[in-house]
Amino acid sequence: MELNFLEIILCVFFISLAVTLIFRKLRLSIILGYLLVGALLGPHAFGLIHNSTYARNLAEFGIVFLMFTVGLEFSLPKLFSLRYPVFVIGSLQVLLTILITTLCGIFLGMGKLAALTVGSIVAMSSTAIVVKQLSDQLELHSRHGLNAVGILLFQDLAVIPLIILIAGLAQNNESHLASLLIWALIKGCLAIFLIFIVGRWLLRPLFHQISKTRDIELFTLTVLLVTLTAAWFTNLWGLSYALGAFLAGLMLAETEFRHQIEVEIRPFRDILLGLFFITIGMLVDIQHWYNTWIWILLLFSALVIGKMLLIILIARLSGNDLPTATRTGIVLAQGGEFGFALLTIALSKSILPPDYGQVVLAALVISIAISPIMIRYNKKIATFCLPRKIKFSEIQTKQQIISTAKKLKQHIIICGYGRVGQQIAGLLNKIKFPFIGLDLDSELIRFATLAGDSVFYGDPTHPGILKAAGLKHAKLLIISFNDLRASIQILSIVKQSRPDLAVLVRCKDEFELKQLKSYGASHVVAEIFETSLTLAQHLLTIIDIPNAKSTQLIHEMRSKDYDLLLKVFTGAYEETMADENAPLGQLKPILIPEGAYAVHKKLKDLDLPSIDVEIIAIRCGETKFLKPHSNTKIEANNIVIVYGTSVNLEEAEKLLLQGK
């Protein structure tokens, strides 16, 4: 039975919700989840959706909004800071991948246009998967991480001319390939020029006027209008929707409205991009994969192994050591979001026949499926491939740290040498107290070392690095970065090797504070509470409270792990914590009416501590009794102020009003 439009949307959303929850629980790529949803719904599996035209037409706008946000996030300073990996390694990777794949395709009997298109698709890697995985592993600022980010930046930049090229080759006339390419580039340049002229003289003044209205709905509508208008204009010129959206984002990137625009467009992008990958999944034909598995294996090998070896070679010739080059290649050995986008354009323009499209699709999907594992274990894979070189490199790094640590006694280990770590080091330098800093940002390490700081390249979550830094005879360890998972890893190592060592940790909020204390942190500095204490200290100074008294009050709050600051009332719009599902404590006032169970009963008889609820105060009229005695009686119309988790507070209220 053919489903109507609403039934298709409901079916897609329902299965997407279920699969997304499962994939997030298993910590797998959500892109792979969307592809699986499409494969299940499509005509080649359960056949719930026989005609995906509705969904496919809507899903095209997922790429439109993706390209808009890419343009919005495109930063010239960021591009300049990574200019070597972007313009040297990145450009060589994209150009050589396209060239080699095209020549191989022609050798295997493919047409020139089809081979060129496949080469363009294979050249792309997944920005979303790589950046997120490296960030989670604290490798984003490592040498191979910076290389990967630089190459991905060039790929994001290169996808625009590739889209122009593929859209311009829609006539599929190989005899006029050069003229088609030139004409496509001319049209692309004209479109870019016209959009930038209009944007420069119209968009900034328009958004200034819109912002004055303070109407967020009008602002959102304007963002959507600008994005879709630019996409419509480039499509009208025979180019692609994505190009116009990218240019619109690029125009708005340098305005003061950039961050608000990104917030407004993100929900549309995420939903429609998910729908885009679902429609890609609908193309999956497992039966065809079975019949063409040899070709799929060949293209998959070229995509993963071939691209990995090419990146290793380019990175090595560009001056990187072999371990760094190898890890860079492993991290980028997969297909990407823009590969799917280029494949969709090529299929819709009939540049690639459906049979070729299935082979390319299979190779992309399988590479996406295994990429999180390859990225997660990139160091182990590189160690297995290059055992002697990696081992030598690690020993050399550790020896440098060990030789410095041997000269120190009762020193401080600073894990993370960003702004906070450097400020701590600056203070220690002033009082001439010895320390060793550890960080994974090679550029930062180079600058700090040249400046004479005792800081080394090393992963502080690795037991060997901490041991080399003199963990056994250190006086204190400081975790200066704000990463809960990495902090817990370091605390676990310290707990095993030096349970007596004082550890000072930085965190965000109450949830992280409790987690870190449970893993053995001696002192935890929570940003949300320190902001409150700083404001409070300024307040006490302004209202002429003596410095000794204000210092004592602030010290008392800190010495008890912010106990007083933890106990607050929560409203309908509570600030977001690290874990939205975490059982955080809160205050709650409970009015005791006539006839309630608690009336005339002593606090000790109610035994609220047994359900993890603390009585903070009892209010009787205008009088509030803080920390009431256990023999205190509750009377009718008293207000009992209690503290606990929301679940426990509900139980306490039931006990006070109704009894057990």
Structural domain boundaries in the chain: 5-384, 393-507, 585-658
**pLDDT of the residue at 579:** 45
**pLDDT of the residue at 51:** 57
Cβ burial of 469 (10 Å; 0-12, 13-18, 19+) is: buried
d(CA 538, CA 531): 11
Q: Which two tokens stand for residue 472?
A: 């056994």
Helix (H, G, I), strand (E, B) or coil at 93: helix
Read off φ and ψ for residue 308, nearest 5 degrees. -60, -45
* CATH number for the domain running over 585-658: 3.30.70.1450
**pLDDT of the residue at 343:** 86
pLDDT, tens only, 141-178: 677 888 888 888 788 778 777 877 776 665 545 555 56
Please spell the DSSP secondary structure of 591-622, one letter per residue: E--TT-TTTT-BHHHH-GGGGT-EEEEEEETT
pLDDT, tens only, 254-299: 666 776 777 777 777 777 777 777 877 777 778 788 888 898 899 8
User: What are the angstrom distances between the C-alpha of 249 and each of 131, 237, 242, 485, 498?
Assistant: 21, 19, 11, 34, 51
* CATH number for the domain running over 393-507: 3.40.50.720
d(CA 180, CA 171): 9
User: What are the angstrom distances between the C-alpha of 95 and each of 92, 120, 143, 234, 336?
Assistant: 5, 9, 23, 25, 16
Helix (H, G, I), strand (E, B) or coil at 287: helix
Q: What fold, for 5-384?
A: Na+/H+ antiporter like fold (1.20.1530)
d(CA 147, CA 154): 11
**pLDDT of the residue at 54:** 56
Helix (H, G, I), strand (E, B) or coil at 590: strand
**CB environment 451-461: b (16+ within 10 A), e (fewer):** eebbbbbbbbb
d(CA 459, CA 99): 38
d(CA 125, CA 279): 20
Q: Are strands 502-507 and 476-479 parallel, antiparallel or unpaired?
A: parallel
d(CA 74, CA 155): 12
Could you say which residues of the chain have pLDDT below 50? 172, 389, 391-393, 572-581
The length of the chain, given as a count of residues = 660
Helix (H, G, I), strand (E, B) or coil at 151: helix
Residue written as token pair 């490592």:
142
Residue written as token pair 């139980």:
651
d(CA 255, CA 202): 13
| Cβ contacts of 440-445, under 8 Å, gap ≥ 24 | 440/138, 440/139, 440/141, 440/142, 440/145, 441/141, 441/142, 441/417, 442/141, 442/142, 442/143, 442/146, 443/141, 443/146, 444/141, 444/417, 444/418, 445/417
**pLDDT of the residue at 309:** 93
**pLDDT of the residue at 84:** 75
**pLDDT of the residue at 312:** 92
Q: For helices 53-73 and 337-348, give the axis angle rounded to 10 degrees.
A: 130
d(CA 616, CA 642): 5
Q: Which two tokens stand for residue 355?
A: 């049979």
Cα 314–Cα 388–Cα 137 angle in degrees, nearest 5: 65
End-to-end, the C-alpha distance of the chain in Å comes to 56
